[in-house]
A and B are shown apart, each in its own frame.
Chain A
Amino acid sequence: MSEVSRRHFLQLGACVVGGACAADALPSLAHAAEGGDITTLRTTLPYPRVKLASIGQLTVGREQLTTYPDQASPVVLAKLGRPAINGVGPDRDIVAFSRRCSHMGGTLSFRPDTATFHCPLHYAFFDAQKGGLLVIGQATDNLPQLELEVDAAGDIFAVGIRGLLYGRQTNVLA
């Protein structure tokens, strides 16, 4: 499936100059770009390729804390036990996210029963199964999700991040 990207919305916006078709201008949860504009990260940043763990080390519901793309950026890796958007591994259920709330940077905690990340500062929470989608709260973007790859040996690598990490101008610091 596609990613409803800013680029996609641009196209929607452009069709209605002059305002002939307001209803059509509303972004639908379109799958129009299906097959075309695919999930590869669009970035110009030099993300490092970093091994986070091996598949065998992960158990369902137990989070693993590490950092990416550098030591000042805490991230969490989790096997959810249910398929997730952008999930990797044989069960498509391994995901990794920034641990800094995309509202104002609070440190998130994981709740395995709902597969959600919760912020103690203003109570935003994010759905790990749905690409870090904000369930409710005051963040203006999803929780930044790590782009993961698994190699033949079952090692999990982080290779990039979707979305801007809280507290940074650029995900890869100068």
Chain B
Amino acid sequence: MAEESKQERKVCLRGTNLTKRFGFGRSQMVAVDHVDFQFYESEIISIVGESGSGKTTLAKMLLGLISSSDGDIYFQEQKRDIRSQKKKKEYWKNIQAIFQDPFSSYNTFIKIDEVLLDCINMRGGKKLPHAKKVELMTEACSFVNLKFAELTNKYPFELSGGQMQRLMIARIFLLKPKILIADEPTSMIDACSRATILDMLLALRKETGMTLIFITHDIGLAYFVSDSVYIMERGKFVESGTADSVILHAKEAYTKRLINDVPKIHEEWDLSTV
């Protein structure tokens, strides 16, 4: 992307020197190690790295679920302030996440209607007439090809993995956050359902203009969906740029190895390099 147009775009989320340490003394480890980034409005970003590289830890800091040990986060160019519960709630209207394991994401004892009603309430729709709420929930469900009428009075654990994943997207449809973080959203489902979930997320992003951050170790997925790709190795960003520049013209040995390790269809997969 040309420099001029990059400057026109508004920065949505920025991090400087962001760091997370766990533990103390000799057992201390740096899970996220002084990373810098800027994510733009409506941009699709992927953060790619191996298991344990610090991706989920970074996501949790961005979401304000854990505190950072060092560095700052700026939301819409203002230093993020989530020191009070009220401010935290306000921040969560803007940033939301869906996680790898859909089963762990819901409170088992809350019915699906309530899960969705909560979203409407969070968006300030508490006082809406009941019929209007049902209309909103029905619309959200049909966006992800679920039938609201069949879901009322059910509990999340009564759904299949794929249905549950789609219910999460229906929640996002109602919440309309400015930023959505998707942490390995498709690693537990087959290729076809993966295409469906991706289609839905991309359609939602088109409709709301939200910034979409994929966290994944699937470098093919990152290449397919993203504008920008960040490669993470042991807590650090070792390479970043447009998807084409990072994946097709990788400079770092680590990135090259990740790409080389993915099985290909049209190119020979070199097994001699492990």
A binds B: no
B contact set with A: CB distance below 8 Å: none
A contact set with B: CB distance below 8 Å: none
